[in-house]
Amino acid sequence: MIIGIPKEIKEDEHRVSLTPFGAEELVKSGNSVLIQSSAGVSSGFSDETYIKSGANILKTSEEIYSKSDMIVKVKEPIDHEISLIKKDQIIFTFFHFAASKELTNGMIENESIAIAYETVQKDSGELPLLIPMSEVAGRMAVQNGAKCLEENMGGKGKLLSGVPGVEPATVTILGGGVVGTNAAKLASGMGAKVNILDINPERLRYLDDIMPSNVCTLYSNRHNISDLLPKTDLLIGAVLVVGAKAPNLVTKEMLQYMDKKSVIVDVAVDQGGCVETCKPTTHKNPTYEVSGITHYCVANMPGAVPYTSTLALSNSTFKYIYKLANTRLENNLSNISELRSGLNIYKGNVTHAAVAESFSIPYSPLDTLL
Ligand SMILES: NC(=O)c1ccc[n+]([C@@H]2O[C@H](COP(=O)([O-])OP(=O)(O)OC[C@H]3O[C@@H](n4cnc5c(N)ncnc54)[C@H](O)[C@@H]3O)[C@@H](O)[C@H]2O)c1
């Protein structure tokens, strides 16, 4: 199979979908890999490293799309990319179809095969290609929140860890899933006092078992959140209600309970945020202030650490890329449930019920098409 890796063109996106190590494995198993020139540079991989691993470098995305049987990307196709996709071509990437009718229609019309990272799902319900980015974002939330607490950044001038004789900062985390757990791990490791809240008692029990003694688990409700806000220096939003907008757990009025110059990092901004005053920002202009509280609400946090994010993402995507490259698509779809759940559009037919429902488009179960 010929596998094409275009350079990402979305703003602030510096990841690449395949590492040179991945390219080498694909070439060794009899495939050809085409990489767009400089696609890996921001992730620390020069064209030369890809050439050494047996890949070929092409200058333009037009050449990559026209020559490849499968395109592997990071972000959804945008602008002219949609028109470059060919009939029957496999496109494996993050799509988030429900967010764009234009993209959904474009991918139906070009009759390609769209397999979305975000719906690749294990039988246990785990979403293996979302987890690595949540791990990155959870850890970054603490790193960036700590920086925003510095005086010259508009913060209250408090060191997260404290020092001997001076108390550490207090970090409150709403949501104890992957983002929340990673944030708690980092903040507690730095010596902060950490509160982590969730509505899932099983999850709270698990966190209580594994976290160090400077992490306190609490049930998430309005009373507990209001009680914690006056003591909180850094609030991290890490809630997810699958398939829905994040609930507003901290309203605009509740900001008055927080000290001025405290910091909110709302990681859940990509689902609307769990703080009412949250609105998406970019890495170029990451913060703004409401009621004296610094808000950091970058919607694609992992994009700022492309080296780590590229490796973390491709550690998880590669086994699927390898299967797609080396086994007939229809066999993969019949035998690998993760890929079947990842399939959103198959040759002009919407095969994912939620995507079809989002735009009132007819839903075609895959079994009726194969
Ligand atoms: N901004 C970014 O760059 C970025 C990157 C990765 C993930 N995210 C987002 O971060 C959010 C969290 O992702 P995740 O992977 O940790 O999800 P997850 O499913 O692992 O965890 C979400 C947790 O929220 C809990 N929850 C639900 N309702 C709650 C409530 N009312 N109060 C407290 N907890 C509640 C759930 O029980 C669950 O434990 C998602 O919106 C995700 O899209 C953003």
pLDDT at 242 over 80: no
Query: What residues contact residue 259 under an 8 Å CB cut-off, 6+ apart?
Result: 156, 230, 233
**pLDDT, mean of residues 30-46:** 97
- The CA distance from 148 to 248, in Å, is 23
pLDDT at 227 over 90: yes
Q: Whose CA is nearest to atom 41 of ligand 1?
A: 268
pLDDT at 273 over 90: yes
Say how many Å lie between the CA of residue 246 and the centre of ligand 1.
8
Q: What pLDDT, on the 0 to 100 scale, is given for residue 178?
A: 97
Please report, as a single letter, which amino acid is at residue 349.
N
Q: What is the DSSP string of 109-132?
A: HTT-EEEEGGG---TTS--TTTHH
Q: What is the DSSP string of 206-268?
A: HHHHHS-TTEEEEE--HHHHHHHGGG-SEEEE----TTSPPP--B-TGGGGGSPTT-EEEEGG
Q: What pLDDT, on the 0 to 100 scale, is given for residue 226?
A: 98
- Mean pLDDT rounded to a whole number for the chain: 96
Q: Using 50, 70 and 90 to split pLDDT, how confident is the model at 246?
A: confident
Q: Is 301 in the pocket of ligand 1 (CB under 6 A)?
A: yes
pLDDT at 107 over 70: yes
pLDDT tens digits for range 146-156: 999 999 999 99
**pLDDT, mean of residues 92-121:** 94
Q: Using 50, 70 and 90 to split pLDDT, how confident is the model at 358?
A: confident
Percentage of residues of the chain with pLDDT beyond 90: 92
What is each CA distance from 229 to 148, 216, 237, in whole angstroms?
17, 15, 13
Q: In the β-sheet with 90-93, what is the strand arrangement from edge to edge?
A: 56-58, 32-36, 2-5, 70-72, 90-93, 113-116, 343-346, 349-350
pTM of the full structure = 0.90
**pLDDT, mean of residues 178-200:** 98
Atom of ligand 1 nearest to the CA of 300: 3
Q: Is 269 in the pocket of ligand 1 (CB under 6 A)?
A: yes
Q: In the β-sheet with 215-219, what is the strand arrangement from edge to edge?
A: 215-219, 193-198, 170-174, 234-237, 263-266, 293-296, 287-290
Q: What pLDDT, on the 0 to 100 scale, is given for residue 243?
A: 64
**pLDDT, mean of residues 190-196:** 98
Q: Using 50, 70 and 90 to split pLDDT, how confident is the model at 241?
A: confident
**pLDDT, mean of residues 297-303:** 92
Q: What is the best residue among 224, 248, 254, 267 to mutate for testing ligand 1's pocket, by most ligand atoms within 8 Å of CB?
A: 267
